[in-house]
Amino acid sequence: MSAAADPRAHRVDAAPAGLELTILMPCLDEAETLASCVRKAQAFLSGSGVRGEVLVADNGSVDGSQAIALREGARVVDVAERGYGAALMAGMQAASGRYVVMGDADDSYDFSRLMPFVDGLRGGSDLVIGNRFRGGIAPGAMPFLHRYLGNPVLSFLGRLFFGVGVRDFHCGLRGFDRERFLTLGLAGRGMEFASEMVVKASLAGYRITEVPTTLQRDGRSRAPHLRTWRDGWRHLRFLLVHSPRWLFMLPGATLVTVGVAAMAVIGVRSVNIGGLNLDVHTLSYAGAAIILGVQMVLFAVLASSMGIRNGWLPGDARNRLLSAITLERCLVAAALLFLAGIGMSLYAVFLWAARDFGVLDPSATMRWVIPSVTLMGVGGQLGLAAFFLEALRLPDAPR
């Protein structure tokens, strides 16, 4: 496909080779603040002695931002595909520096004070992220919801899910080793790209550090491109999808444990708790909890297998665990569960026959019917999931 026919194609101006640092700014109609950002970045390079360049990844500006960037001595890459992540990926691919420091072109970050990022990268870190909560947030620089709800909650979930010690998951000022990050297969095209960088770096075992960073109120008169609820959901969705253990495994295992415990007790006799009688109706909900929980656990196994195959989850211990889950073992377990369910169903029919197939006492019969249906359902789930897992293990056909 030619560059002209590719909607993601972009123009790259020539740059000198052998640079240590590229200061990368994604840009979409930032004419009000872009010149100030480029000047500060240029001042940092000249004042620090770091050999580098300023690169503006323009995402289709119509306010003359490209001309401003060129006038101020920056290099410009035109990115046709819209999105924060799309602009940054194109800029990362076009960068000439060994290291890249990226930051928004809205004048909320001070590009003249980047030495902590460069020092961190020179010291062996693969990713250096700014921490605005440690560095200071100017009045009005961050919306209330972002400061006290969105950022803290999403950062907490990122630490919980992936064990990365980052307190400000979504700071837009960050530096990274270009070659290391080009191997990660970053694919996010929107604001979730910021989460993807941290998550995939953590899963790949990269060294991640934080440095205090100040956040100033941006210099734009228009509304920011960031949309609180839409982009917040995109970040949360990305975190959940890339953590099958927290999305599927742990909730599913909890449901199975609670359901089995309830079925083991109520399956024998009704239970009174503080005047509340739990009988066969509760038993049916216990069966539903088991079936749903098993399905979630199986989803976790399948998602992990797909993630390892596609490269967005590391192998390590997961590979050993998944290799123990073979089609033959699963089919044996599925058959045993299904046969146990059929056996309990036959006993329920025997009880019915003893009453000449007449009216039954639900409190007695359903204690056999509900567990039998649950066992057959779980057996069927396990058998089908085993074949799906085996299909995921098939080698890719040559193309």
Q: How many CB atoms lie within 10 A of CB 261?
A: 12
CA geometry: angle 342, 290, 157, nearest 5 deg: 155
Kindly report, residue by residue over 300-353, the tens digit of the pLDDT. Answer: 999 888 877 776 676 665 567 777 888 999 999 999 999 999 999 999 998 888
Provide the pLDDT for residue 365.
87
Determine the average pLDDT of the residues in 55-79.
96
Residues 26, 58: Cα–Cα separation, whole Å: 6
Do the beta carbons of residue 56 and residue 25 sit within 8 Å? yes
Provide the pLDDT for residue 315.
62
Determine the average pLDDT of the residues in 117-132.
96
- pLDDT band at residue 163 using 50, 70 and 90 as cut-offs: confident
Do the beta carbons of residue 53 and residue 96 sit within 8 Å? yes
Tokens of 304: 């992990």
Beta strands 52-58; 75-79: pairing state: parallel
Provide the pLDDT for residue 13.
54
> Over pLDDT 90: what percentage of the chain?
61
Determine the average pLDDT of the residues in 122-149.
93
pLDDT at 220 > cutoff 90? no
Tokens of 339: 């046969």
- Give the range among 234-248, 286-300, 375-389 with minimum mean pLDDT: 234-248
Provide the pLDDT for residue 316.
60
Determine the average pLDDT of the residues in 378-388.
94
The pTM is what?
Answer: 0.77
How far out from the chain centre does Cα 115 lie? 30
Residue 278 host element (H or E)? strand 276-278
Annotate 77-98 with b (16+ C-beta within 10 A) or e (fewer).
bbbebebbbbbbbbbbebbbbb
Provide the pLDDT for residue 6.
41
Do the beta carbons of residue 144 and residue 110 sit within 8 Å? no
Do the beta carbons of residue 27 and residue 65 sit within 8 Å? yes
pLDDT at 361 > cutoff 90? no
Determine the average pLDDT of the residues in 67-73.
96
User: Who has greater pLDDT, 7 or 173?
Assistant: 173
- Residue span(s) of the chain under CATH 3.90.550.10 come to 10-241
What single DSSP character describes residue 218?
P
Provide the pLDDT for residue 307.
79
Provide the pLDDT for residue 272.
87
Neighbouring residues of 92: CB distance < 8 A, sequence distance ≥ 6: 24, 100, 178, 181, 182
Tokens of 300: 């976790």
pLDDT at 99 > cutoff 70? yes
pLDDT at 8 > cutoff 60? no
Output the CATH code of domain 10-241: 3.90.550.10
Comparing CA positions, the residue from 99, 79, 97, 76 lying closest to residue 88 is 79
Provide the pLDDT for residue 397.
65
Determine the average pLDDT of the residues in 195-207.
90
Determine the average pLDDT of the residues in 75-88.
94
Which residue's structure tokens are 């192998």? 315
| Cα dihedral 347→353→359→360 (10° resolution) | -20
Q: Compute the mean pLDDT over every residue in the chain, rounded to the nearest whole number.
A: 89
pLDDT at 221 > cutoff 60? yes
CA geometry: angle 235, 240, 245, nearest 5 deg: 155
Do the beta carbons of residue 192 and residue 238 sit within 8 Å? yes
Beta strands 276-278; 19-27: pairing state: unpaired
Determine the average pLDDT of the residues in 18-29.
94
Q: How many CB atoms lie within 10 A of CB 291?
A: 20
CA geometry: angle 294, 284, 363, nearest 5 deg: 145
Do the beta carbons of residue 321 and residue 290 sit within 8 Å? no
Determine the average pLDDT of the residues in 173-185.
94
Kindly report, residue by residue over 236-282, the tens digit of the pLDDT. Answer: 888 888 888 899 999 999 999 999 999 999 988 888 888 888 899 99
